[in-house]
Amino acid sequence: MLEIEGVESGYGKLKILRGVTMSVPNGSMVALLGGNGTGKSTLLKAISGLLPVWAGKILFDGEPIQNLKPHEIVRRGLVQVTQGKDAYPAMTVEDNLKVGAFSRSDKAGVRQDMERVYELFPRLKQRRKQMSGTLSGGEVQMLVIGRGMMARPKMIMLDEPSSALAPKVVLDIFRAINKIREEMSMTILLVEQNVRMALLMSDYGYVIRDGVIHIEGKASEMIDDDNVRQSYLGGTVADTDVAALS
């Protein structure tokens, strides 16, 4: 569904991505792993049209998207879910969710998808008339994921959904992501620093370092690779298992 071929990008004259090549097949979940400053978020911004692509190609559903504007990419069905800090604090939970459906005109479908978000995140339904600026960090992360789902995308890109959250909340977030993948057959690119959790959930993994893909492979084979966990990602990670995600 998503093909990235030799992409270079960055900020001003500073090159961050140095020829990234990777793919996300239709119906799969792919993990993009790496430490801070390795190029993960820069790549998502380039895919989403928030940064210019200096070289290479980005194909979505077989069509080039590297010269499109962000809202045009969303309308094609590719949505980036940012970290929780990007919710609109002066708007209610429900209004935040409605913003996610800005490109849609099917009112009945929007109502249906909002109920689906509330089923996925019951706490959001309890707080639907509450200003999002009063929510906890975990609730705000649930909100931005739900807002992304309101666009009814073909594929979502999740930018470090576990960042700065308590362990119990992290598990709740990943359970929800697992349901989105399994119950909605959603294609997902998961950008994460929680290595073990990301690989447990994914089909395939890539490790990015210094703006280049250094390691790739089946997630099931990468998960216990000490070279992946220590040499590239700076240490061990919390243990968990597949049963914890169900």
The string of DSSP letters for 137-184 reads HHHHHHHHHHHHHTT--SEEEEE-TTTT--HHHHHHHHHHHHHHHHHH
Predicted pLDDT at 76: 93
Predicted pLDDT at 203: 95
Strands 212-218 and 204-209, sheet pairing: antiparallel
Closest CA to 233 of 201, 209, 200: 209
Predicted pLDDT at 116: 93
Q: Which runs of consecutive H residues, i.e. helices, occur in the chain?
A: 40-48, 70-75, 93-100, 107-120, 122-126, 137-149, 167-184, 195-201, 219-222, 226
Question: For the whole model, what pTM was predicted?
Answer: 0.88
Q: Which residues on adjacent β-strands are paired with residue 190?
A: 31, 158
Q: How far is Cα 88 from Cα 18, in angstroms, rounded to an integer?
A: 33
Predicted pLDDT at 244: 60
Predicted pLDDT at 194: 81
Q: Show the tokens assigned to 172.
A: 């709740």
Q: Show the tokens assigned to 44.
A: 């998502």
Predicted pLDDT at 94: 94
Closest CA to 152 of 200, 225, 102: 102
Predicted pLDDT at 246: 57
Burial status of residue 14 (CB atoms within 10 A of its CB: 0-12, 13-18, 19 or more): exposed
Q: How far is Cα 52 from Cα 107, in angstroms, rounded to an integer?
A: 34
* Token pair 């590239």 in the structure block, residue: 232
Q: How far is Cα 201 from Cα 225, in angstroms, rounded to an integer?
A: 16
Query: Per-10-residue mean pLDDT for the chain, 246 residues long?
Result: 96 95 96 88 94 96 93 93 78 93 88 93 94 91 92 93 84 90 90 86 93 92 77 50 58
Domains assigned to the chain: 2-77+153-245 (3.40.50.300), 87-151 (no CATH)
